[in-house]
Amino acid sequence: MRLLRHVLLSLPAAAMVVLATTAPASAQPERTQDAHATTASPAVAADGARIDTLGAAEEVEEYWTPERMRNAIPVTPEEPGAGRSSGTAEQPGGPPGSTPAAAPSGEMRAKLVETSVAGKVFFTKPSDGKNYVCSASALNSGSKQMAITAGHCVHEGKGGDWMKNWAYVPQYRNGDKPYGTFVAKQMRTFNGWINDGSFDWDVAMVTTWPQGSDKLVNRTGGNGLSWNYSREQDVTINGYPGNKDNGQLQWYCQGRTSNSGGKLALGCDFGGGSSGGPWMREFSESSGLGQTNGVTSTIDSAGVNRSSYFGDSVKQMFDDQGSVT
């Protein structure tokens, strides 16, 4: 097991701290049984206007000044019982599968602790108008424009609304944006998160606007996707935990996951801001690429992080969103 700048912890039962936000109880819609289905939404700016042109995307990019990025709030409220399954957790529906990763068209500045495939996500929360921060990673698909993150980094859940001003900065480092800013064009997450706020379904995929003619995966590289694998996997996790270097540097953690209430668990002690960071099988230190098999969702009081399980429904999300341009 290889670790950097953190200590791997054991997995005792503990109160769960959620790297997510929740909507007010008054905003609860009727619950759906179709938790594994997904819903997509066009990305919008703070005023609710659709980001449907490159010009609109550039305005969102300009909104995210270095000061706003630095002051964005890591998503870390407490949610009792978030580590427990809602009873609708995904189960393996068939043989394990994976899609191919893709190297960038240019030079990739990759090393284990920092990879251009991972980065920070910035957005404005509709219910309070404040700016927040998560993590995400590029995911190779037919569009070459997709990122993967946590559901609570694109939607408030429990009848709330879609996040606004959503932008992804690959390999962010102390305000440096070596690959530019990729603004959301369309976002998709599970109904189980949108309607119920279930952390069994805390996964999202986002199609981004190109930077000029340069698409995200072509610029940074993109991981493959894995699904229906065992919950016990050797993984590398990258992200921007706010409890490490104030979230200004990319961190990584390596270890073998365990099954925790149907989720994947590993004691990385990655706090707020790490939500949505990739859990990668078969990570290559030389290429900086791997197979995304989870995303950071929660942390408990013992420092144990958890991810929703990736089964057939995550693969279906990939199929539905991966060709959107």
Q: Are strands 97-98 and 118-124 parallel, antiparallel or unpaired?
A: unpaired
Model confidence at 5: pLDDT above 60: no
Model confidence at 66: pLDDT above 60: yes
Residue 64: per-residue pLDDT: 97
Distances (CA, A) of 182 to 1, 154, 212: 34, 15, 10
- pLDDT band for position 10 (cuts 50, 70, 90): very low
pLDDT top residue among 90 and 11: 90
Distances (CA, A) of 303 to 14, 123, 126: 9, 25, 29
Model confidence at 33: pLDDT above 80: no
Residue 30: per-residue pLDDT: 41
- Nearest-angstrom CA–CA distance, 83 and 80: 8
Within 10 angstroms of residue 55's Cβ, the number of other Cβ atoms is: 8
Q: Identify the CATH number of the domain defined by range 38-77+113-321.
A: 2.40.10.10
Residue 76: per-residue pLDDT: 66
Residue 15: per-residue pLDDT: 36
Alpha-carbon dihedral sign for residues 325, 210, 157, 273: positive
115-164 pLDDT, tens digit per residue, is 999 999 999 999 999 999 999 999 999 999 999 999 999 999 998 999 99
Residue 310: per-residue pLDDT: 97
Q: Per-domain residue ranges for the chain? A: 38-77+113-321
Model confidence at 245: pLDDT above 60: yes
Model confidence at 18: pLDDT above 60: no
Give me the percent of the chain exceeding a pLDDT of 70. 83
Residue 228: per-residue pLDDT: 97
87-107 pLDDT, tens digit per residue, is 666 777 788 989 989 998 876
φ, ψ dihedrals at 20, nearest 5°? -155, 170
Q: Average per-residue pLDDT in the chain? A: 87
Q: Are strands 131-139 and 73-74 parallel, antiparallel or unpaired?
A: parallel
- Nearest-angstrom CA–CA distance, 66 and 248: 11
The encoded tokens of residue 230 equal: 């065992």
User: Average pLDDT of 158-187?
Assistant: 96
Model confidence at 8: pLDDT above 60: no
Residue 31: per-residue pLDDT: 42
